[in-house]
């Protein structure tokens, strides 16, 4: 559930930067002939022209929406260019987009603490930069204000007394340079200047446009960034917060797009965020608990103390795919084949993270979405499973398969089942993903990666011995072993003992925000939930659940119109003071004459989050240990490990929305169900003996 964090200062300057029609821009940079033309990126599955996942603003003008398929888009906009998302290993390959996002992050990070929030979203804490500007070179003393800054939207500007006529840009210029403004408004003005400059740098170095919100906290900055798109920025002065929230539909607020928002509507009759003001903090706490109650009370007042985390790299890596309808996977062999693809991708990214960033991931998690035919209980969720992560593609594959098998047994309620790979007892897998999380940097000063692992090994020899004994002693099961009844067809391998490597960590984590992921999806990108659609309802849904933006808001200004507009009007109006200032429009103008700065293309990876090892899995560990004929000592050891091991929890801060977004929608929903704080323990464990996960796979 949301955690109330008091705002320690109302003089922070926070920006939220959101790329415009991001995948389209990436494709347009690859194919320059597509620039300025109606374009959409479609899923690789060509059924009905493929599902649209990104739509250019030129295409939106014709009414093309993300909820459409390519064929429908062609009907409403015959000249639309449909670009297929790159494909690798039989699934969408988002690496180009991730890397393009990294290029942008690198630039934005030059001016302040930077948090990569998703594949195309970044938070920036510009407080220090703004304070420095205010101290050294305040806007009121600047001879020129950049045109890009002057084009800012200042919420509530109409309320400010202005004597400089009715020209909108003159009003903005006046607001930005007022000498009688409060310190916090002056800081926001400085922030607006910095963001305008950064956006221009992003454009010059990457060719991408972006939009931004500038406010004194993350919540407001995010709300603002989607208000004026594309290639624009919006400032939220302190004085306009109550008006903004007063009319904001409750479900449009981040974290209120899901069940909590629905409950507020139904149970408390709250329709706008402002409606919450009528409730006391105690009353809200009575309804929703102390934390959520306080968070709601704060939110109604625009208070949000969440900090921008200095994080340029993803918290986790993930790879997933859906298998809708007839494409559902119905045999373990088929699941194994696809797991192999997913694990290869995951392993590549882990390796590159290790090499480039000297980071290692500690937890491997498998999520799946499944159905059971002829079963009234088929609504039962396929349990997500985690274990310590061992590096090496073959080991990841092996562990992922074991996690799947453990999950399937639990899902089917057949705990002792051992079955062969090509039979099916009426189940189907419609979504599958693997993720690596708990990614930690190898401490600086460590001379080499292996040194680090060795030093880790030395710190816990006893645990290592125990773990190794479990692995080495564990015999492989034959497919015929432990078959249970006619329905059971799983092939078990002796991989569960590796779970015994999990060691304890008494670290306690905060409980999770309720429905955080769900609401992030719905609200986090400022897509308006009432227009939400799901591309995943279509047969080839693959990567994302679709949000549909408010077209009336975001399509009012189209890039081409903006450019023309600017070229026509700006030039005439520009004062001598402004000459020489760059603008995004002017950049585009310069594009026509062929001058273009090419940026360096950084590379990065992606994201996602840790999950848990269920008690059931521990139980299986012990049962299987006994089933394999291991000594009762080993079985006892297993049970000791189980007893010592608390349930895993996770820190909501470690959940990377970008990775979650990349999962198939069904799995995202599964994950959301997992993220129920009340069902989780606060205690977290962490494996200490990293070295052993790098040991060669026993069966290789
Ligand atoms: P968004 O930021 O939601 O949208 P956008 O950048 O395409 O457009 P806007 O200018 O309105 O912000 O998503 C970023 C990218 O993520 C998008 O270009 C494609 C991908 N994506 C999907 O693949 N599926 C989805 O359902 C969504 C919402 C996004």
pLDDT at 579: 42
Are 436 and 361 in contact by the 8 Å Cβ rule? The answer is yes
pLDDT at 382: 93
Reported confidence tier of residue 548, pLDDT bands at 50, 70, 90: very low
Nearest to 52 by CA among 62, 63, 65: 65
522 is catalytic: no
Measure 595 CA to ligand 1 centroid, in angstroms: 28
Measure 13 CA to ligand 1 centroid, in angstroms: 26
Measure 21 CA to ligand 1 centroid, in angstroms: 6
Beta bridge partners of 427: 372
**215 pLDDT above the threshold of 70:** yes
**Which residue among 27, 54, 85, 211 is best mutated to probe the pocket of ligand 1, counting the most ligand atoms within 8 A of its Cβ?**
54
Q: Are strands 87-88 and 81-84 parallel, antiparallel or unpaired?
A: unpaired
Are 338 and 401 in contact by the 8 Å Cβ rule? The answer is no
Nearest to 362 by CA among 6, 136, 606, 693: 693
- Chain length of the chain: 700
- Residue 545 near ligand 1, beta carbon < 6 Å: yes
Rounded to 10 degrees, the C-alpha dihedral 667/671/673/677 comes to 180
pLDDT at 422: 64
Tell me which of 232-236, 524-528, 694-698 is least confident.
524-528
Are 468 and 696 in contact by the 8 Å Cβ rule? The answer is no
For 416-439, what is each residue's pLDDT tens digit? 555 556 666 688 999 999 999 999
Ligand 1, atom 26, lies closest to the CA of 546
**85 pLDDT above the threshold of 80:** yes
Q: What DSSP assignment string belongs to 177-243?
A: H-SSS-HHHHHHHHHHHHHHHHHHHHHHHH---EEEEEESSHHHHHHHHTTS-SS-EEE--GGGHHH
Q: Is the dihedral of CA 258, 263, 264, 265 positive or negative?
A: positive
Ligand 1, atom 12, lies closest to the CA of 20
pLDDT at 571: 41
Neighbouring CB atoms inside 10 A of 638's CB total 25
Contacts of 538 (CB under 8 A, 6+ apart): 47, 48, 51, 69
| Mean pLDDT of the 397-410 span | 94
**Which residue among 21, 38, 553, 658 is best mutated to probe the pocket of ligand 1, counting the most ligand atoms within 8 A of its Cβ?**
21
Q: From the CA of 525, give the closest atom in ligand 1.
A: 3
Q: What is the pTM of this model?
A: 0.65
Ligand 1, atom 11, lies closest to the CA of 21
For 338-375, what is each residue's pLDDT tens digit? 999 999 999 999 999 999 889 999 999 999 999 987 76
Q: From the CA of 19, give the closest atom in ligand 1.
A: 6
Reported confidence tier of residue 512, pLDDT bands at 50, 70, 90: very low
Tell me which of 30-34, 96-100, 650-654 is least confident.
650-654
- Residue 230 near ligand 1, beta carbon < 6 Å: yes
Ligand 1, atom 8, lies closest to the CA of 21
Neighbouring CB atoms inside 10 A of 166's CB total 7
| Mean pLDDT of the 598-615 span | 33
From residue 305, alpha-carbon distances to 277, 378, 430 in Å are 18, 42, 40
**609 pLDDT above the threshold of 70:** no
CB-count exposure of residue 560 (10 Å: 0-12, 13-18, 19+): middle
Reported confidence tier of residue 217, pLDDT bands at 50, 70, 90: very high
Of residues 529 and 328, more confidence is placed in 328
Residue 180: half-sphere exposure toward Cβ, Cα within 13 Å:
4
Q: How far is CA 447 from the centre of its chain?
A: 33
For 1-40, what is each residue's pLDDT tens digit? 676 776 666 689 999 999 999 999 999 999 999 999 999 9
pLDDT at 442: 87
**623 pLDDT above the threshold of 50:** no
Which residue shows structure tokens 């392993």? 347
Measure 115 CA to ligand 1 centroid, in angstroms: 18
Nearest to 535 by CA among 543, 525, 545, 521: 545
- Residue 521 near ligand 1, beta carbon < 6 Å: no
- Residue 525 near ligand 1, beta carbon < 6 Å: yes
Are 416 and 619 in contact by the 8 Å Cβ rule? The answer is no
Reported confidence tier of residue 448, pLDDT bands at 50, 70, 90: low
Ligand 1, atom 19, lies closest to the CA of 54
Eight-class DSSP state of 298: H
Are 23 and 54 in contact by the 8 Å Cβ rule? The answer is yes
Q: Are strands 233-235 and 210-215 parallel, antiparallel or unpaired?
A: parallel
Residue 469: half-sphere exposure toward Cβ, Cα within 13 Å:
14
**544 pLDDT above the threshold of 90:** no
Which residue shows structure tokens 């690596």? 436
- Residue 22 near ligand 1, beta carbon < 6 Å: yes
Q: What DSSP assignment string belongs to 308-375?
A: PP-B-S-S-EEEEEE--GGG-B-SHHHHHHHHHHHHHHHHHHHHHHHHHH-EEEEEEEEEEEEEETT-
**42 pLDDT above the threshold of 50:** yes
The tokens of 623 are what? 């049962």
pLDDT at 486: 28
Q: From the CA of 526, give the closest atom in ligand 1.
A: 3
Which residue shows structure tokens 């996960």? 693
Please give the Cα distance from 273 to 259 (Å, whole number). 15
| Mean pLDDT of the 463-478 span | 25
Please give the Cα distance from 295 to 292 (Å, whole number). 5
Measure 231 CA to ligand 1 centroid, in angstroms: 15
User: One of 103, 121, 341, 496 is an active-site residue; which one?
Assistant: 121
For 289-310, what is each residue's pLDDT tens digit? 999 999 999 999 999 999 999 8
Measure 30 CA to ligand 1 centroid, in angstroms: 18
- Residue 660 near ligand 1, beta carbon < 6 Å: no
């Amino acid at each position: 559930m949301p955690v109330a964090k008091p705002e320690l200062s109302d003089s922070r300057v926070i920006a939220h930067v959101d790329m415009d029609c991001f995948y389209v821009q990436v494709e347009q940079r690859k194919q320059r002939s597509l620039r300025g033309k109606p374009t959409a990126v479609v899923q690789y599955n060509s059924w009905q022209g493929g599902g649209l996942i990104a739509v250019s603003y030129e295409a939106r003008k014709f009414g093309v929406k993300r909820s459409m398929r390519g064929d429908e888009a062609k009907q409403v906009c015959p000249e639309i260019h449909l670009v297929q998302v790159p494909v690798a290993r039989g699934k969408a390959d988002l690496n180009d987009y991730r890397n393009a996002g990294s290029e942008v992050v690198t630039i934005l990070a030059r001016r302040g603490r930077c948090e990569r929030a998703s594949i195309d979203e970044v938070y920036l804490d510009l407080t220090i930069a703004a304070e420095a500007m205010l101290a050294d070179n305040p806007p009121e003393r600047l001879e020129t204000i950049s045109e890009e800054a002057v084009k800012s939207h200042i919420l509530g500007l109409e309320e400010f007394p202005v004597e400089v006529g009715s020209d909108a840009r003159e009003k903005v210029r006046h607001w930005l340079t007022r000498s009688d403004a409060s310190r916090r408004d002056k800081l926001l003005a400085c922030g607006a200047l910095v963001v305008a400059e950064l956006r221009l740098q992003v454009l010059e170095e990457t060719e991408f446009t972006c939009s931004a919100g500038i406010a004194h906290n993350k919540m407001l900055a995010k709300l603002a960034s989607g208000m004026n798109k594309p290639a624009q920025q919006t400032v939220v002065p302190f004085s306009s917060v109550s008006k903004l929230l007063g009319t904001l539909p409750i479900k449009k607020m981040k974290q209120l797009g899901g069940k909590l928002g629905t409950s507020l509507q139904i149970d408390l009759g709250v329709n706008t965020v402002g409606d919450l003001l009528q409730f006391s903090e105690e009353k809200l706490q009575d309804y929703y608990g102390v934390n959520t109650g306080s968070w709601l009370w704060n939110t109604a007042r625009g208070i949000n103390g969440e900090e921008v985390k200095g994080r340029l790299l993803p918290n986790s890596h993930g790879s997933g795919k859906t298998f809708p309808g007839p494409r559902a996977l119905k045999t373990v062999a088929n699941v194994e084949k696809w797991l192999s693809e997913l694990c290869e991708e995951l392993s590549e990214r882990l390796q590159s993270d290790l090499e480039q960033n000297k980071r290692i991931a500690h937890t491997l998690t498998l999520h799946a979405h499944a159905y059971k035919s002829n079963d009234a209980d088929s609504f039962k969720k396929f349990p997500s499973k985690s274990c310590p992560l061992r590096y090496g593609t073959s080991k990841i594959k092996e562990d992922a398969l074991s996690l799947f098998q453990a999950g399937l047994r639990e899902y089917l309620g057949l705990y002792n089942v051992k079955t062969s790979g090509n039979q099916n007892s009426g189940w189907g897998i419609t979504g599958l993903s693997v993720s690596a999380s708990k990614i930690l940097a190898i401490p600086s000063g460590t001379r080499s990666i292996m040194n680090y692992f060795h030093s880790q090994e030395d710190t816990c020899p006893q645990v290592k011995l125990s773990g190794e004994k479990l692995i080495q002693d564990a015999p492989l099961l034959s497919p015929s072993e432990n078959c249970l009844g006619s329905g059971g067809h799983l092939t078990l391998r002796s991989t569960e003992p590796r779970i015994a490597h999990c060691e304890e960590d008494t670290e306690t984590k905060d409980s999770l925000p309720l429905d955080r992921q769900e609401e992030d999806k719905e609200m986090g990108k400022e897509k308006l939930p009432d227009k939400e659609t799901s591309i995943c309802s279509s047969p080839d849904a693959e990567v994302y659940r679709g949000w549909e933006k408010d077209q009336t808001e975001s399509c009012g200004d189209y890039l081409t119109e903006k450019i023309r507009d600017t070229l026509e009007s700006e030039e005439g109006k520009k004062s001598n003071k402004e000459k020489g200032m760059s603008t995004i429009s002017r950049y585009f103008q310069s594009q026509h004459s062929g001058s273009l700065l090419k940026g360096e293309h950084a590379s990065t990876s992606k994201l996602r989050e840790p999950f848990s090892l269920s008690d059931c899995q521990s139980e299986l560990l012990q049962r299987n240990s006994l089933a394999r004929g291991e000594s009762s000592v080993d079985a006892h050891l297993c049970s000791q490990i189980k007893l010592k091991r608390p349930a895993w929890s996770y820190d909501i801060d470690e959940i990377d929305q970008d990775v979650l977004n990349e999962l198939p929608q069904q799995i995202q929903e599964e994950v959301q169900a997992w993220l129920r704080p009340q069902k989780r323990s606060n205690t977290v464990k962490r494996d200490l003996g990293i070295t052993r996960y790098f040991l060669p796979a026993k069966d290789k």
